[in-house]
Amino acid sequence: MNDSDQPAVLLVVGDASETVDTLYPYFRLQEAGFRPVVVAPERRTYQMVMHEVRPGWTITKEWEGYQIAADLAFSEVDPAGYEGIFFSGGRAPEYLRYDEDLLRITRHFFDEAKPIASVCHGVEIPAYAGCLAGRRMATVAKCRHDLEVAGGVYLDEPCVIDGNLVSGRTYHDHGHFIGPWIALLLERVSPG
């Protein structure tokens, strides 16, 4: 099968997206027969990071991770052509959430009830887009406020499924929530 024949799924990134948060779903999508399409503010290479709270630290420590190239800028995306979306963690969402094109894309996936996954700081994007009222989600504890201010319900669990929305707290939860999200994507492209 040619890559262009595969159903496509968006992965939202920016500088300081978390490396594991981004690459784990990227490769899992490929394994499942989807074409991951990396989208960001503009077409260029982005610097991902590795971050976690280390013993003795009370805040997140961050190191440079791998780089990833964006296939498309947010302004170039017609979300109707994509089956699902993934909001990666790291510090990137804190800045990306103000991009009007990303907000347009985000609202499309919620309005159309397409499969959505979010981890860690990824919640900041749909929260700012006004898409989380009444929705149940997991996120990293320090983003609980963003979720609750947007009207969402915080759950401290490795996988929360609320209809088309699947979420986890951090990359430590990927083995719990990525599989159910991919199952929703597979169900969408091969109903029946």
Handedness of CA 94, 96, 99, 104 (dihedral sign): negative
Q: How far apart are CA 21 and CA 9, in angstroms?
A: 15
Q: Tell me which of 51, 108, 121, 145 is the catalytic residue.
A: 121
CA distance 1 to 66: 28
Is 121 marked active-site? yes
> Could you tell me which of 27, 43, 140, 147 has the C-alpha nearest to residue 86?
27
Q: Minimal CA–CA distance to 78: which of 114, 42, 105?
A: 105
How many angstroms separate the Cα of 5 from the Cα of each of 2, 9, 72, 116? 5, 12, 18, 21
Angle, CA 11 vertex, CA 14 and CA 110 arms, to 5°: 110
Query: Collapsing DSSP states into helix, strand and coil, what is residue 180?
Result: helix
The two structure tokens encoding residue 114: 């397409």
Catalytic positions are 121
